[in-house]
Amino acid sequence: MNRFLLLLVVVYPAMAMQKEYQLTKALSFHKAVVRSRESLGMIELLKNENNFYVIKDGSIKLINKYDIDPLLKNMNEEKLQKYFEQNGYIQVDQLSNQDYVLKAKSRILGGGLGGATAGMYIGKWGTYIIGHGAIVVASALTGPGFLATFASLEAQFLPVIEAASNTAAVGMGIAVAVATGPV
């Protein structure tokens, strides 16, 4: 049996007739993969072949197609299972007009301080090596004018290389922090 999804035969005869919903075969989502604000109280999220439903206080509410995250709209049981296994979950919110909204969310690991520091240094010094190395190579090709060319190119491109190294340091710091996770 799947860890996050349960195939249920759900029968709510009075409500199903009243709302004309057919929930004879519906997926019920485990509470570990459905999040909602405490003010919503106890809710249950169901999905049949075409629609999502919220059950709250014994009443069934159809969720409008336009209130469902595009990622969730066309997912079948297998795709949902893979999504949940990859730290995905469904956020249920209620609008002021009492309609429900479903959003696909992910629990992203990150915050590795050591990884962030290493990534920052890799990004910054990698950019320095490439930028200043290119200046050295271009200057060396000028032969006797090496020193004058080197000084001129350094003066011209130093601010650009510094800005690029700062951007690379931030980007690599974030990327490696997320990759390494919390320490």
Q: Is the pLDDT of residue 21 over 60?
A: no
Tally of domains in the chain: 2
Q: Are residues 122 and 101 in the same domain?
A: no
Residues 124 and 49 in one domain: no
20 pLDDT higher than 50: no
Q: Is 37 in the same domain as 98? A: yes
As a whole number, mean pLDDT of residues 4-21 equals 45
Strand 34-36 and strand 88-94: pairing?
A: parallel
Give the model confidence (pLDDT) of 48-66 as tens digits: 777 888 888 888 888 888 8
Please state the rounded mean pLDDT for residues 118-133: 95
Structure token pair of residue 171: 């980007």
**91 shares its domain with 120:** no
Distance between terminal CA atoms of the chain? 33
Residue 28 shares a structural domain with residue 92: yes
Could you give the percent of the chain with pLDDT greater than 90?
Answer: 29
The strand order across the sheet containing 5-8 reads: 5-8, 26-29, 43-47, 52-56, 59-62
pTM, two decimal places:
0.50
What is residue 137's predicted lDDT score, i.e. its pLDDT?
96
Task: For residues 175 and 92, state if they share a domain.
Answer: no
Q: Are residues 90 and 18 in the same domain?
A: yes
Helix, strand or coil for residue 63? coil
When pLDDT is cut at 50, 70 and 90, the band that residue 92 belongs to is confident
Boundary-marking domain end, from 82, 106, 130: 106
pLDDT of the residue at 4: 53
Do 149 and 80 form a contact (C-beta atoms < 8 A)? Answer: no
Of the candidates 106, 122, 147, which is a domain's last residue? 106
Percentage of the chain modeled with pLDDT above 70: 80
Domain span including residue 77: 5-106
Distance CA 152, CA 154 (A): 6
pLDDT level of residue 110 (50, 70, 90 thresholds) = low
Q: Is it the case that residue 112 has pLDDT exceeding 80?
A: no
Q: Which of 44, 72, 106 is the last residue of a domain?
A: 106
Confidence band of 126 (pLDDT split at 50, 70, 90):
very high
